[in-house]
Amino acid sequence: MTLTVKAFIKEFKSQFQSMYAYSYKEGSTEQLYNALGLYIKNYLSRNWKETKEDYVENSVKQVYYFSMEFLPGRQLESNAYNLGLLDTIKEGLNEMGMSLEELEEAEADPALGNGGLGRLASCFMDSLASLGVPGNGNGIRYQYGLFKQKFVDGYQVELPENWLRYRNVWETRNDKSTCMVKFGGNVWLEKNHLGYMEAKYENTLNVLAVPYDTPMVGYRNNVVNNLRLWSAEIPVEEEENYHTLEATEPIKEITQVLYPDDSNYEGRLLRLKQEYFMVSAGVQSILRHYKKYNLPRKNIPDKVAIHINDTHPALVIPEMMRILLDEEHLSWEQAWEITFKTCSYTNHTILREALEKWPIDMMKDLLPRIYMIIEEINQRFVDTTAPIYGDRITWQTAILQNGVVNMAHLAVIGSHSINGVAKLHTEILMEDVLKDFFELYPERFNNKTNGITQRRWMHLANPGLTRLLDEKIGEEWKKNPSELKVFKGFEQDEKTIKELAKVKFENKQRLADYIEELQGIKVNPKAIFDVQIKRLHAYKRQHLNMLHILYRYLDIKENPSKDFVPRVFIFGAKAAPSYMYAKQIIKVINSLAELINNDPDVGDKLKVVFFENYGVSLAEKIIPAADISEQISLASMEASGTSNMKLMANGALTLATLDGANIEIKDFVGEENMFIFGLSSKEVYELKAAGNYNSKGIYESNEKLRHTLDALTNDTIPGLNGEGYAVFDSLVNYNDEYFVLKDFESYIKAQEKVDALYRNTDEWTRKSLLNIASSAPFSADYTIKRYADDIWKVKQHSEQKDSVQPLDE
Ligand code: H2P
């Protein structure tokens, strides 16, 4: 039954009154938002219940996506939209004298992730539900999300992100489904009276894992899947042992913060605790739920797929073994077969520092039984591999090496599928990072290029574009993104080009207003909006972007009469709290921005905006207004990137190295519709192998570059306290790890091409149109379909089974 505006108003009023016992007219924005959120949650609860029941009644196979990060973004609008209620609610609120936009601002944007990895997990949740794939998320309900970023004198300052300060209307605490997770103590194996080996524990720290469930709403298909986030608590029966607040700390801290400070041992230990806590609770609850299917244990892999999102949840493998061995009393061989067939692993990065390794002693103390199992997995691996492949490969691929537990190796050995997240990345895994494993298990390796959900990143974030697309190509693209290609037919249609340019301009005007309101910087919406939004890391090379801005600034100062195409550089980026170099780059960009934005000689020609506290909600405002998408990582380093996909889908032209999914963007839209520069990954590998890179030589021989770099250290930029030197030093004196100087010249040339093209508005817009029309392959719906078919072997299980057609690539 469809909801009428009248019925909505009536029900909303009574919802509000039942919660607050006064009229909605007296409600604060937060209260009104809470009432609306709960109204929507009540509305969807029936579908939520029925989806769960349906899965069990039909014994369908379910996938469980284990991830230490989820970045869902605000859920009010997206849930209302997917339920098909958005227009009704908007109209109803307007009639009551409110607006959805205003209420939405009261919603916390849960920063339970760091960057692309967490956001990908949430795009996947949206696609799983929208495709009707039985899929669950499993993660941690961090009390504090990733820090709230502030700039003080241009420096990043980290404040606690207390996203749960007000109630979280979307979650349901589920006390019925708690689990117990054990840490430390002593453990030994003993035969019980039935003759089974049983693990005996003493002096363990017992932690109660309490699940908070959040509905993941499918797009107009009545499917509501589940995201389960775990919170650590003191077990009720042990409460009397905790006499002081201090004594409760070791338990409470487990789910207190995302990314504890990893610069010290305690912080690293806490992170390992978090990982095991999430994994153990998750696996226990899955195996308990499986019992509802009344099937033998050997059928687990037919009904359960567990996905390991990066190495963080790799302990799923020994934890599942532990339960099957110690609690279900299966033989090692039986348990291993089930575990291996159930688990699959995605690698998201080739950066060595991000491939986790835990000291053996730490693991042994914290998780004694798990360590015993890992030891045995390792021993059995060595025993089978060495006779066939020899000692060298066996040693290089072992799980236990040089006093550490190598989590990537554990994940690979215990998973039937290993995938990278873009074609190039998967190739690099096979040829370099996991080369030896590729030799051992070629059949396990596959590529699954990342994707994004068009629902959040186009339909909702860019209503102007969505309207234009609906008008030109009909609404089918909303269900089948591949229909976007029909838009290509409008490439030569002058009217459409003008209309598309108008949509972009309006989006830019809106962002310009927001910038002015937020930061007091007046930017010209006619300028090129040049956007780099992503985690701050040297390999992503925000400092290359900064050098170009500095170069441009000097050019403006030295050539006042030159005709510059106005440019607004927009950044959004957080730096990990202990990553000093990244923080220094932030400071340099901010000080440079301060100089440029206040220099009367510069005026409209150049502006720099660095948003504080970049996150999903900000991205939704920035992306529809972008003209240029900066994807400038050193080739081979960025596994995929996903902001590249979102920006492309919103009509930005990509300025990129041939890295990650930029290569696939090029394959789909054509090189002539983007700006490519820099070394290829092959050249990067060759340069590294040659070992003769000499950044100082480049500095000394390139006049333009020298002039720019010198400005970092000669007081051109006021307000710096050595940060300019630090960047200069790393690039010139410490041989420039990410080849910034090597790529500088070709980056500048690409930027000149950007300026030249922008002078021709129609030509620019035509390319923008082609980007939008070519963006469909990056729909997360397709990505999820490929995961479901090839890796998880789970079927779409809803009335809308056929809603996603195979993509004709
Ligand atoms: C990471 C990779 C990205 C990738 C993303 C999702 C870890 O995200 O670096 O290249 O697109 O996972 O697979 P990020 O750098 O944004 O934290």
State the amino acid at position 298 in one-letter form.
K
How many C-beta neighbours within 10 Å does residue 752 have? 12
Mutate to test the pocket of ligand 1, among 124, 308, 349, 539 (most ligand atoms within 8 A of CB): 349
Q: What is the pLDDT of residue 83?
A: 97
Q: Which of 41, 228, 322, 534 does the annotation list as catalytic?
A: 534
* SS3 category, 202: strand
Q: What is the pLDDT of residue 34?
A: 98
Mutate to test the pocket of ligand 1, among 640, 662, 738, 784 (most ligand atoms within 8 A of CB): 640
pLDDT at 538 over 60: yes
Strand residue runs (E) in 491-634: 528-533, 567-572, 606-611, 628-631
pLDDT digits (tens, 9 = 90+) for 700-740: 999 999 999 999 999 999 999 999 999 999 999 999 999 99
Q: Which of 289, 574, 605, 646 does the annotation list as catalytic?
A: 646
Q: What is the pLDDT of residue 809?
A: 43
C-alpha to C-alpha distances, 669 to 110, 301, 538, 586, nearest whole angstrom: 34, 39, 28, 32
Q: What are phi and psi of 533, to 5 degrees?
A: -130, 110
Express as a percent the part of the chain with pLDDT over 70: 99
Residue 119 Cα: closest atom of ligand 1:
6
Residue identifier of the C-alpha nearest atom 8 of ligand 1: 116
pLDDT digits (tens, 9 = 90+) for 314-365: 999 999 999 999 999 999 999 999 999 999 999 999 998 888 999 999 999 9
Of 108, 101, 106, 98, the closest CA to residue 13 belongs to 98
Strand residue runs (E) in 587-700: 606-611, 628-631, 653-656, 675-676
Residue 230 Cα to ligand 1 midpoint, Å, equals 24
Q: Using an 8 Å Cβ cutoff, are 254 and 270 in contact?
A: yes
Of 41, 424, 414, the closest CA to residue 217 belongs to 41
Per-residue pLDDT, averaged over 528-539, amounts to 98
Residue identifier of the C-alpha nearest atom 17 of ligand 1: 115
Q: Using an 8 Å Cβ cutoff, are 62 and 304 in contact?
A: yes
Domains 65-71+113-450+792-803 and 499-775 share a fold: yes
Nearest 5°: the CA angle 111, 619, 676 is: 125
Residue 540 Cα: closest atom of ligand 1:
15
Residue 354 Cα: closest atom of ligand 1:
7
pLDDT digits (tens, 9 = 90+) for 683-697: 999 999 999 999 999
Ligand 1 pocket by C-beta < 6 Å: which residues?
114-117, 120, 348-349, 421, 450, 534-535, 638-642, 660
Question: In the chain, where are the structural domains located?
Answer: 1-58+75-108, 65-71+113-450+792-803, 499-775
CATH fold for domain 65-71+113-450+792-803: Rossmann fold (3.40.50)
> Rounded to whole angstroms, how far apart are CA atoms 781 and 90?
27
Residue 806 Cα to ligand 1 midpoint, Å, equals 26
Nearest 5°: the CA angle 496, 499, 502 is: 150
* SS3 category, 358: strand
Of 726, 702, 698, the closest CA to residue 712 belongs to 726
- Band (pLDDT 50/70/90 cuts) for residue 801 is very low
- Band (pLDDT 50/70/90 cuts) for residue 263 is confident
Residue 640 Cα to ligand 1 midpoint, Å, equals 6
Residue 131 Cα to ligand 1 midpoint, Å, equals 24
Residue 705 Cα to ligand 1 midpoint, Å, equals 30
Choices 3.40.1440.10, 3.30.1360.10, 3.40.50.720, 3.40.50.2000: CATH for 499-775: 3.40.50.2000
Dihedral sign of CA atoms 595, 598, 599, 601 in order = positive
pLDDT at 192 over 50: yes
> Rounded to whole angstroms, how far apart are CA atoms 98 and 96?
6
Q: What are phi and psi of 619, to 5 degrees?
A: -55, -40
How many C-beta neighbours within 10 Å does residue 564 have? 17
Residues making up the chain, counted from first to last: 809
Of 702, 763, 754, the closest CA to residue 732 belongs to 702
* Pair of tokens at residue 530: 């040049």
pLDDT at 543 over 60: yes
Per-residue pLDDT, averaged over 777-787, amounts to 98
**DSSP designation for 145:** E
Per-residue pLDDT, averaged over 523-538, amounts to 98
Residue 638 Cα: closest atom of ligand 1:
10
> Rounded to whole angstroms, how far apart are CA atoms 422 and 641?
9
pLDDT digits (tens, 9 = 90+) for 605-617: 999 999 999 999 9
Residue 122 Cα to ligand 1 midpoint, Å, equals 13
Residue 49 is a catalytic residue = no
Residue identifier of the C-alpha nearest atom 14 of ligand 1: 116
Per-residue pLDDT, averaged over 290-303, amounts to 97
Residue 349 Cα to ligand 1 midpoint, Å, equals 7
Per-residue pLDDT, averaged over 562-591, amounts to 97
> Rounded to whole angstroms, how far apart are CA atoms 221 and 51?
11
How many C-beta neighbours within 10 Å does residue 754 have? 18
Q: What is the pLDDT of residue 1?
A: 63
Residue identifier of the C-alpha nearest atom 12 of ligand 1: 117
* Pair of tokens at residue 575: 């730096």
Residue 348 is a catalytic residue = yes
Residue identifier of the C-alpha nearest atom 6 of ligand 1: 117
Residue 421 Cα to ligand 1 midpoint, Å, equals 9
> Rounded to whole angstroms, how far apart are CA atoms 163 and 174?
20
Residue 120 Cα: closest atom of ligand 1:
6
Residue 450 Cα to ligand 1 midpoint, Å, equals 9
Q: What is the pLDDT of residue 621?
A: 98
Q: Which of 271, 289, 348, 543 does the annotation list as catalytic?
A: 348
Residue identifier of the C-alpha nearest atom 15 of ligand 1: 116
Residue 537 is a catalytic residue = no
> Rounded to whole angstroms, how far apart are CA atoms 614 and 592?
19
Q: Which of 642, 654, 657, 783 does the annotation list as catalytic?
A: 642
- Band (pLDDT 50/70/90 cuts) for residue 802 is very low
C-alpha to C-alpha distances, 563 to 525, 556, 602, nearest whole angstrom: 18, 9, 12
Residue identifier of the C-alpha nearest atom 11 of ligand 1: 641
Q: What is the ipTM of this complex?
A: 0.96
Comparing 191 with 307, which gets the higher pLDDT? Answer: 307
pLDDT at 57 over 50: yes
Q: What are phi and psi of 231, to 5 degrees?
A: -125, 140
**Cα radius of gyration rounded to whole Å, the chain:** 27
Q: CB-based contacts of 376: which residues, under 8 Å, 6+ apart? A: 332
Q: What is the pLDDT of residue 197?
A: 84
> Distance of alpha carbon 644 from its chain centroid, rounded?
13
| Residue written as token pair 């909505």 | 8
Express as a percent the part of the chain with pLDDT over 90: 95
Per-residue pLDDT, averaged over 84-92, amounts to 98
Residue identifier of the C-alpha nearest atom 3 of ligand 1: 641
The residues facing 306 across adjacent strands are 64, 343
- The secondary element (H helix, E strand) that includes residue 11 is helix 5-20
Q: Which of 141, 289, 540, 574 does the annotation list as catalytic?
A: 540
Residue 642 Cα: closest atom of ligand 1:
11
Per-residue pLDDT, averaged over 8-31, amounts to 97
Residue 420 Cα to ligand 1 midpoint, Å, equals 11
Q: Using an 8 Å Cβ cutoff, are 393 and 385 in contact?
A: yes
As a whole number, the mean pLDDT across the chain is: 96
Residue 688 is a catalytic residue = no
Mutate to test the pocket of ligand 1, among 124, 311, 348 (most ligand atoms within 8 A of CB): 348
Residue 484 Cα to ligand 1 midpoint, Å, equals 26
Residue 643 Cα: closest atom of ligand 1:
11
Q: What are phi and psi of 211, to 5 degrees?
A: -85, 140
Q: Using an 8 Å Cβ cutoff, are 540 and 572 in contact?
A: no
Predicted model pTM: 0.97
- Band (pLDDT 50/70/90 cuts) for residue 808 is very low
pLDDT at 193 over 90: no
pLDDT at 670 over 90: yes
**DSSP percent split of the chain into helix, strand, coil, nearest 5:** 55, 15, 30
Residue identifier of the C-alpha nearest atom 16 of ligand 1: 116
pLDDT at 803 over 70: no
Residue 281 Cα to ligand 1 midpoint, Å, equals 26
Residue 356 region by backbone torsions, left for phi larger than 0, else alpha for psi between -120 and 50, else beta: beta
Q: Which residues of 73-104 are buried (b: 16+ CB within 10 A; e: fewer)?
A: bbbbbbbbbbbebbebbbebbeebebebeebb
Dihedral sign of CA atoms 167, 170, 173, 179 in order = negative
Nearest 5°: the CA angle 396, 66, 163 is: 125
Residue 291 is a catalytic residue = no
Per-residue pLDDT, averaged over 794-808, amounts to 61
Residue 456 is a catalytic residue = no
